[in-house]
């Protein structure tokens, strides 16, 4: 229970960072195009994880040295060979996972950045959060069971998102359609992380996916946008927030925590992104919350709590 609570809190922290990063993404678009913004933020997210990986490797080597080295007998050599073979297999899985997650992440973030230019932030937040409905639907196709209480939670969350984010008549525009495609692709990213994260080191996987995202985004950046260095320097603050916190920290938290959580429950927790976007706007920008928006927040939080109940009951029975 304590471990589950810890992972839930960490994923909620990721949602808080993503929610507040909507402001950084919007401001960054005043200086850079969507591919330029994604390219720079992704490389920043990858670079900020390199010292973390170095520190963790150093700690691991120090522990191995403290444990002592066994004599190089035949049995020990066989153990080393088996360990090297296992490391090689894990390395291939890590590279495959980093490439897959990176390609999917590139597509989803690019669609979101493009869509934000043509729709309101509220509608973008609501449509993006529809992955909480898409994830269990895709999970059923992949043979994953979804409990009744979780489905009720998904329904409450979708209703809560609508009350929270939609302030005018709902219609689908070009920007809305791009963000909707982002929600579909991000659902695939959640399922990809669910598949690869239990098999490899989460921080390395996150570092590789951002490097891949940065490399892919560089091509349309150079061909279509061709930003000047002065534009990048002007956007340093939103880039730093989106790159270091939203990419480097929040997406890494997603990978580390999601291996311990059901993907549908994880998507519900991540949907708090929209709630935190509204709350940070209230706290930082002094925006007022209507009764309708407060009701939306309550429904989303109720959905999160409801989604946890089946797991708690199973643990009590076991």
**Does residue 110 belong to any structural domain of this protein?**
yes
Which residues lie below 8 Å from residue 270, measured CB to CB, with a gap of 6+? 11, 14, 15, 18, 131, 132, 190, 254
> Region 246-275: what's the mean pLDDT?
81
128 versus 213: the higher-pLDDT residue is 213
Q: Is the pLDDT confidence value at 307 over 70?
A: no
> Do residues 27 and 117 make contact, with C-beta atoms less than 8 angstroms apart?
no
**Does residue 278 belong to any structural domain of this protein?**
yes
Report the pLDDT value the prediction gives residue 314, as an integer from 0 to 100: 45
**Does residue 73 belong to any structural domain of this protein?**
no
**Does residue 257 belong to any structural domain of this protein?**
yes
**Does residue 70 belong to any structural domain of this protein?**
no
**Does residue 79 belong to any structural domain of this protein?**
no
Report the pLDDT value the prediction gives residue 2, as an integer from 0 to 100: 67
> Region 249-257: what's the mean pLDDT?
85
Q: Is the pLDDT confidence value at 1 over 60?
A: no
- pLDDT digits over 281-292, tens only? 677 656 666 788
Task: Let me know how many helices (H) and strands (E) the chain has, helices first.
Answer: 14, 0
Whole-Å CA distances, 82 to 22, 63, 89, 93, 95: 47, 20, 11, 17, 20
Q: Is the pLDDT confidence value at 196 over 70?
A: yes
- pLDDT digits over 59-74, tens only? 878 776 766 555 555 5
**Does residue 285 belong to any structural domain of this protein?**
yes
- Is pTM beyond 0.85 here? no
- pLDDT digits over 95-129, tens only? 999 999 999 999 998 998 888 778 766 667 667 77
**What range defines the domain where residue 153 resides?**
2-65+86-317
> Region 206-235: what's the mean pLDDT?
92
DSSP 202-234: HHHHHHHHHHHHHHHHHHHIIIII---HHHHHH
Residue 178: name the closest of 110, 246, 235 by CA: 110
186 versus 315: the higher-pLDDT residue is 186
Residue 315 — very low, low, confident or very high, per pLDDT cuts 50/70/90?
Answer: very low
Q: Is the pLDDT confidence value at 173 over 90?
A: no
Report the pLDDT value the prediction gives residue 47, as an integer from 0 to 100: 92
**Does residue 263 belong to any structural domain of this protein?**
yes
3-class secondary-structure state, position 1: coil
Report the pLDDT value the prediction gives residue 85, as an integer from 0 to 100: 58
Report the pLDDT value the prediction gives residue 152, as an integer from 0 to 100: 82
- Could you give the CA distance from residue 147 to residue 195 in angstroms, rounded to a whole number? 20
Number of domains observed in the structure of the chain: 1
Average pLDDT, the chain: 79
């Amino acid at each position: 229970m304590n471990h589950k609570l810890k992972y839930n809190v960490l994923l909620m922290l990721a949602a808080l960072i993503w929610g507040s990063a909507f402001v950084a993404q919007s401001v960054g678009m005043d200086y850079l195009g969507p591919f330029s913004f994604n390219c720079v933020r992704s490389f920043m997210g990858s670079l900020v994880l390199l010292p973390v990986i170095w520190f963790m490797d150093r700690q691991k080597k120090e522990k191995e040295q403290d444990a002592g080295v066994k004599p190089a007998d035949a049995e020990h050599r066989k153990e080393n060979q088996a360990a090297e073979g296992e490391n090689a297999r894990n390395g291939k899985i890590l590279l495959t996972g980093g490439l897959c997650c990176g390609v999917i992440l590139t597509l989803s973030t690019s669609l979101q950045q493009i869509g934000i230019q043509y729709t309101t932030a509220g509608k973008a937040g609501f449509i993006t959060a529809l992955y909480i409905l898409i994830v269990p639907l895709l999970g059923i196709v992949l043979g994953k069971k979804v409990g009744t209480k979780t489905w009720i939670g998904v329904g409450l969350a979708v209703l809560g998102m609508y009350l929270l984010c939609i302030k005018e008549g709902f219609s689908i525009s070009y920007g809305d359609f791009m963000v909707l495609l982002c929600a579909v692709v991000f659902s695939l990213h959640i399922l990809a992380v669910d598949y690869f994260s239990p098999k490899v080191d989460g921080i390395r996987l996150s570092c590789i996916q951002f490097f891949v995202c940065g490399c892919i985004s560089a091509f349309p950046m150079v061909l279509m946008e061709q930003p000047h260095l002065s534009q990048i320097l002007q956007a340093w603050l939103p880039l730093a927030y989106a790159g270091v916190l939203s990419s480097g920290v929040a997406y890494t938290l997603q990978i580390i925590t999601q291996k311990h959580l059901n993907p549908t429950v994880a998507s519900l927790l991540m949907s708090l992104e929209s709630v935190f976007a509204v709350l940070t706007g209230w706290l930082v920008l002094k925006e007022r919350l209507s009764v309708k928006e407060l009701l939306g927040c309550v429904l989303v939080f109720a959905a999160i709590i409801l989604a946890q109940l089946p797991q708690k009951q199973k643990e009590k029975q076991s």
